[in-house]
Structure formats: structure tokens, C-alpha cells
Structure 1
Amino acid sequence: MGFDCLVLGGGIVGVSAALHLQARGRAVALIDRTQPGTGTSYGNAGLIERSSVVPYAFPRKLSALFAYGLNRRSDVRYDPKFLARIAPFLLRYWRASAPAPLEASAAALLPLIEASITEHQALSAQAGAEALMRPGGWISVYKSEKGFAAAAREGEGFRTSHGLTVDILDRAAFLALEPAFVSGAERIAGAVHWRDPLTVDDPLALTTAYATLFRDRGGRIIKGQAESLRPDGAGLRVETEEGPVTAREVVIALGPQSAALVSRFGLSVPMAVKRGYHRHYAQAEGALPGRPVVDEDAGYVLAPMRQGLRLTTGIEFAAADSPANPAQLQACEVAARGLLPLGAPVEAAPWMGLRPCLPDMKPLIGPVPGQPGLWCDFGHAHHGLTLGPASGRLLAELITGETPFADPAPFAPARFA
């Protein structure tokens, strides 16, 4: 079977790229070993994060580094045996988090962040999935007066510098908006309500709706093995359950598995994975928040989902294939129960996933150097759901020769060549 383009990876990033290529007249096949949306794209907090105008940076203060080094915090955990393996990545991440390079990364990402809402709205309207998205943003909660004061200043600054809609809430105002947290009132100093983002109450259903739209418009979704990718005459070839498929252009959008595949084609990408967990809880009537709430001190999100209240953890640095460690989720659960009455777990065991992260906090979007027809669209870290449609548009514009809506140079894979 021959196509114009193959997209390897059925997460939100790959499905979005496939839709944008299809909309530009390309015959596209989406290749994955499982059903679309069932990998990393499933396990997020459902935030389309228009307000995240600054990437998640590595801490620079010595006091913060010391606190994380003790490995007792719930927002970031690490496997001590894994530190030696990940140390080069962490050093590059720390350097890229200095003020000047962090500002440059934020400026590069801003056009994609600004387009995140409109690109999702366009696709969700075409897919009939508008009901999965809610307006109203999300809320950061702070337990210390010092932390709340700093966050309030930052929120006011973003309102001025980026035109974001931000409400600074004292304890009473937060509880009026989110009465489910009344039992933890004494622990809450205040909150910041980021109103611009959209939230999704079923990320898997959203990716599935986009994939269905792609298929209904004539796209092919085929189970196959991305690691079988190899040159084939003037194009590239992948083995699938339906036989070999070929194309002139291939997009690698495999999330955490992308770096291993692209390394076979001569590009060594310094990518790391941040492990994360989630679990759903069955909430009693009146105990479900109206929007996602982030406990900034403990580093977890409570997001209302169709399956229940989803508790998602922060970061765990550990080998991708090492056994799940329940310590971080347990610590977050204890903290959450201090703020609201958390119900019984829905699942027998938590979900664990991998976030693909690059040290400069920017995804790879563009051609693989020296490999005509091979393209990258991965490394979105915490913002795969947010940036999937916007990065898919940028990639499709590059492949089809259109004028890109954002400067692609900062995302070029050649920066790691």
C-alpha cells in the first residue's frame, strides 16, 4: 500500500498531524501498535494550557535544589539508582532553565501556545467533540501566605504582559467558586484562577474523536510496528498487520519512543522521560470540583473527569521500564484528602505513563537532517494535549511548503545534529 505520508504514533500529536496533512490534500496513514489515544495522551490532567506561557523549568535556587535532593517531596521524586544515567540530561535542563535561554524558549513556544485553543476548537467542531471541552480554566491553590502572594504577583504580571484573564482569589472567594474544598478551608491561603484555558473531561475520547474524523475523511488507521521503519527505494516503509506500507514522507510522533527510532537515522536526541501517575476516585455528591485544581505546594492536579475525580501526580525520574512506585501517588493522595473528602479509588491499580521531555523544553518539529522525507513531531513534555493540533499544523505547513504560521527554526531537529 502506498501513501503520500505515514504518521507513526496515534497519540494526540500524531492524530493532529495526520488531520492537518489530510486537510492539505495528502493521502495519509496513521500507524500505531494500539488504538489511538491509549498511550501517554490518555493520562493527562485534561488541560489545554493557554496560560502556560513559560515552560516548566529546572529549579535554580540552592534551597529548592536541596529540598528536591532529599527526595521527600510529592511533586518530584527520583530513583537514586537512575540519577547517574539521567545526570547529563539534568545538567542540560538546568542550563537551559537560566533566565536568558528560558526566555528564548518561552518566546519560541508562545505562538504555539497562543494557537492552542483555536486549533483545538477548529478540530473539535469538525469532529463533533465540542461537548468534551469546558470553558472556565483551572485554579492554582496555595497553602502558604508567602506562596500565594508570589503567585498573585505573577498572575498580575501575566495579565499585563500577555493579556491573560486571571482572577486572584482569597480563601472565601475560592470556596465560593469551589465549595467541594470547604473541609480543607483552614489549609488554604488563596488561589489563582487562570480562566483562558479549556479543560477536557475525557482526553481519550477527544483523541478518539479526532482519529474518527481522520478515518471518516478517508484516512487509514493501521496497526503496525514503527520500529520496522526503513528506506524503500525513493521512500520509506513500515510493516503492518495489513502488509508493508510505503510513503514519500514519514512523521515520527511516537512520544517517549521517538528518540530511539530517530537515532537509527543518525540523529541523537537528548530526550528523557518523566514518569507520571493518575488514579480516579468516586466522589460523593457535592465533592467534585467544577474545574481542575492544582495543589501547587504538593504538586498534583485534581481534575473532574467522566471516570471520576482524576488525581495526577507531578514528576518521577526513573527508568521507563522499572516497576511502578506507588510512593508519589500515595503522598499526593494524603495531601488531597487534607483539602477535600476524596472518595474510594475507581481502579484497582493506578495508571502510569511517560512524558517525552527535551532539555531546552521545546519539541522537535521539522525534518531529520540528511534523511529526506523523514520528519519529527515529538518531545512536547507536559503539553502534548495543549500543543498537539498547533504543532501538527506547523509540521503540515513545513511538509507541504506553505508559509508557516510560527517560526519553525527553534524547533528544528538540526539543533541536536
Structure 2
Amino acid sequence: MRFDTIVLGAGIVGVSVAVHLQQRGRAVALVDRRAPGFETSFGNAGLIQREGVYPYAFPRDLPTLLRYASNTSADVHYHLGDLPRLLPFLWRYWRNSHPSRHAAIARAYAPLIAHSVTEHRMLAEAAGAMNLIRPSGWIKVFRNAATQDEETRTVERWQREYGVAFETLDPARLRTVEPHLDPSLLGGLRYTEADSVSDPNALVTAYANYFEQIGGQLFEGDANSLTSNAPWLVRSKEGELRADNVVIAMGPWADVVTSRLGYSLPLAVKRGYHMHYTPIPGTQLNHPVLDADGGYVLAPMARGIRLTTGAELAHRDAPKTPVQLEAVEPVARKLFPLAERVDAQPWMGARPCTPDMLPIIGQAPHHPGMWFAFGHAHHGLTLGPITGRLIAEMMTGETPTVDVRPFRAQRFWEAAH
């Protein structure tokens, strides 16, 4: 079966790439081992983070580093046996989190974030999925005055630098917008231009259905079968697929293909967990809420109230260790009246990360017709549609909506020299 492009990976990034290429008249095959949206895109807090102009940095203050080193923090947990292989990545991540480097990274990153909400809304409108997107923002709440003051100063700086919109919520205002949260909270910040999603898996599925409606084809296949490059060949359950172009949009599994082709990209994963709960009858959560001092998010979802954890540093395929979920559940129950667990087991996924906090978007340096679209860390859902647009624009010779030079894979080798 012959196509113009094969897209490997049917998460939010791969589906978005496939849609944008198909809209431009390309014949596209979208290949994954599972149905769209059932891996990393399945389990997140459902945030489209318009405010996320600064990607999540590695902490550099000594008290936080000591707390993380003890491995008892609710927001970060690590597997001791995996630390030796992670240390080179963590060292580069820590260096890039220096305030001056982080500020430079934000200047490249902010233009991507600026398109996050508008690009999602355009795809959702085309896919008939606007009912899954809530335009009401999300809230960060505080129990500690020092944390509240520091976070407020930070977002005020973001507003000055990048026009980030927010609303300060005093205790009375917070009770008005979220009447069933813990009344002892000191207040909150609401990021008013962000959107949230009631079911991330359903949203990715809707985008994939739209891709099929406009002529795209979905295949169950093995990305590890990728061979040749004139044309590229991939084996699927339905037969062999051929195309002159291939897009690697495999999230935390991207290195499985790229390393086999000779690319040594500094990729790691941050794993995360979630669990759904029923709310106690008569209560309701209206926004996703991040407990700034607790290291978790509660988000209203179609399946119930989703509790998502912070980051776990471990090998991608290591066994589940949902200790963070167990640690934060009692705290979350004090924040909002949760009833019974809905899921039989905690869900676990992996976020694909680079040490400079920027995704890898663009043409593969050594393989004509191969394109990279992965490494979005905490902002995969946020940046999927704009990444899809950029890849499609580059592949069809259009001028990219955003300057894509900071996201080239070559930056890692250029930095080494």
C-alpha cells in the first residue's frame, strides 16, 4: 500500500501531524500498535496550558534538592537503581534550568505555547469535539503564604514578559468559583486563557476519527519494522506500507527507532500516575486544581475526579511503583471530598523529555524524508496541534507559523561542539 507519508505514533502529536498533512492533500497512513490516544495521551490532567511559557525546570535551590534527594517528596520520586543511567540527563537538565538559560529557552518556547489553545480549538471544531473542551482555565491553590507569594511574583513576571493572563483568587472568591474545596485554603491563581479537556483520550479519538473522515487511514502496526528510506517500509496488520516520508511521533518510545538509525538523542522519561474517584454526592469540582504545596492535580473528567501525580524518574519500562499516588490521596481528600476509587488499578504513563525542555520538531539530520515530532515532556497535549501544523508546513514547503530552528535535533550536536 503506497502513501505520501507514514506517521508512526497515534498519540495527540501523531494524530495532529496526520490531520494537518491530510488536510493539505497528502495521502497519510497513521500507524500505532494500539488505538489512538491510549498511551501517554490517555493519562494527564487535561490541561491546554496557554500560560506555560516557561517549561518545567529542574529545581536549583538547596532545600528542594535535599528534599528530592531523600526520595520522600510527593511531587518527585525516583528509582535508585535507574539513577546512574539518568545522571547525565539530569545534569544537563539542571544546567539548562539556570535562570538565564531557562529564560532563553522560554523565548523559543513561548511562541509554541501562544498557539496552543487556538490550534486545539480549530481541530476540535473541525472534529465536532468542542464539547470536550472547557474554556474556563485552571486553578493553582495555596496552603502556605510563602508559596503563594512566590508563585504570584512568578506569574506577574510572566504577565510582563509574555502577556500571561491570570486572576488572583482571595479565599472568598475561591469559595465562589469552587465552593467544595477545603475552606482553609489561603487563595489561588486562575490561569484564565488556558483550556481544559474532560476526556483526553476521547479528544484524541475524535481527532483521529476526523482524520479518517477526510481520507486518512489508520493501521495497527509495529514501528520497529521500519526499514529503508527510498521508500520507507512499515509492516502493518493489513499489509506492508510504503511512503517517501515518515514522521516519528512515538513519544517516549521514539528512541527505539531513532537509536537504531544511528541517532544518539538525550531523551529520558518522567513517569506519572492517575486514579479516578467519584465525588461525594452533592459536591462538584468545576476546574482542574493544582495543590501548589502538595504536588498533585485534581481534574474533573468524564470518568470521575482524576487525581494525577508528579514525576517519577525511572526507566520507561520499569514496574509500576505508585507510591506518590498513595502519598497524596489522603491530602487530596482534604482538598476536595473524594469518595470511592473508580479504577481497579492506577494508570501509569511516561512523558518524553529532553534536557533543554524543548521538543524535537523538524527533519532528521541524516535521513531524507524522515521527520521528528517528539520530546514534549509535560506539554504533549498542549502542543500536539501546533506541532502537527509545523511539521505539515515544513513538509509541504510552507513558511512555518513559528520559528522552528530552536527545535532541530542538530542542536544537541551543535551544543556539544
The bucket for the TM-score relative to the shorter chain is over 0.9
Aligned counterpart, 1:384? 380
Distance 2:30 2:318 in 1: 29
Residue by residue over 1:301-331, the C-alpha shift from the partner in whole angstroms, topping out at 9 and shown as x without a partner, is 0000000000000100112222211211011
Aligned counterpart, 2:183? 185
Aligned counterpart, 1:409? 405
In structure 2, stretches of 5+ residues that fail to align are none
AA in 2 matched with 1:369: P
SS in 2 for 1:73: coil
Residue 334 of structure 1, CA deviation:
1.4
Residue by residue over 1:86-108, the C-alpha shift from the partner in whole angstroms, topping out at 9 and shown as x without a partner, is 00100010011112221121111
Aligned counterpart, 1:155? 155
Asked if structure 2 preserves the Cα contact closer than 8 Å seen for 1:291 and 1:304, the reply is yes
Aligned counterpart, 1:47? 47
Write the mapping of 1:4-403 to structure 2, written as runs, cut at 5 A: 4-181=4-181, 184-186=182-184, 188-231=185-228, 234-403=230-399
Residue by residue over 1:377-411, the C-alpha shift from the partner in whole angstroms, topping out at 9 and shown as x without a partner, is 00000001000000111111111111111111110
Distance 2:270 2:161 in 1: 30
AA in 2 matched with 1:137: G
Asked if structure 2 preserves the Cα contact closer than 8 Å seen for 1:180 and 1:286, the reply is no
Of 151-160 and 62-71, the range deviating more from structure 2:
151-160
SS in 2 for 1:343: strand
Distance 1:394 1:297 in 2: 36
Distance 1:275 1:164 in 2: 28
Residue 161 of structure 1, CA deviation:
2.8
AA in 1 matched with 2:283: A
SS in 1 for 2:152: helix
Residue by residue over 1:310-361, the C-alpha shift from the partner in whole angstroms, topping out at 9 and shown as x without a partner, is 0000100112222211211011101101212211000111100010000000
SS in 2 for 1:302: strand
Asked if structure 1 preserves the Cα contact closer than 8 Å seen for 2:12 and 2:37, the reply is yes
Residue 247 of structure 1, CA deviation:
0.4
Asked if structure 2 preserves the Cα contact closer than 8 Å seen for 1:145 and 1:190, the reply is no
Residue 170 of structure 1, CA deviation:
1.7
SS in 2 for 1:60: coil
Residue by residue over 1:101-134, the C-alpha shift from the partner in whole angstroms, topping out at 9 and shown as x without a partner, is 2112111111110001111111100000000001
Root mean square deviation, CA, Å? 1.1
Residue by residue over 1:112-168, the C-alpha shift from the partner in whole angstroms, topping out at 9 and shown as x without a partner, is 100011111111000000000011100001110111111222223323332222111
SS in 2 for 1:231: coil
SS in 1 for 2:228: strand
TM-aligned CA distance change 1:157 to 1:415, over 3 Å: closer
AA in 2 matched with 1:115: H
SS in 1 for 2:285: coil
Asked if structure 2 preserves the Cα contact closer than 8 Å seen for 1:276 and 1:352, the reply is yes
Percent of aligned positions with the same letter in both sequences? 51
AA in 1 matched with 2:3: F
Residue 288 of structure 1, CA deviation:
2.5
SS in 2 for 1:29: strand
AA in 2 matched with 1:334: P
Asked if structure 2 preserves the Cα contact closer than 8 Å seen for 1:268 and 1:416, the reply is no
Asked if structure 2 preserves the Cα contact closer than 8 Å seen for 1:92 and 1:359, the reply is yes
Residue 284 of structure 1, CA deviation:
2.4
Asked if structure 2 preserves the Cα contact closer than 8 Å seen for 1:137 and 1:198, the reply is yes
Distance 2:284 2:264 in 1: 45
Distance 1:160 1:93 in 2: 26
Task: Give the TM-score, by structure 2 length.
Answer: 0.97
SS in 2 for 1:6: strand
Asked if structure 1 preserves the Cα contact closer than 8 Å seen for 2:129 and 2:206, the reply is yes
Residue 416 of structure 1, CA deviation:
2.9
AA in 1 matched with 2:337: P
Structure 1's consecutive aligned runs of 4 or more residues displaced over 6 angstroms after TM superposition are none
Residue by residue over 1:278-311, the C-alpha shift from the partner in whole angstroms, topping out at 9 and shown as x without a partner, is 0000112342310100001111100000000000
Task: Give the TM-score, by structure 1 length.
Answer: 0.97
Residue 176 of structure 1, CA deviation:
1.7
Distance 1:382 1:25 in 2: 31
SS in 1 for 2:180: helix
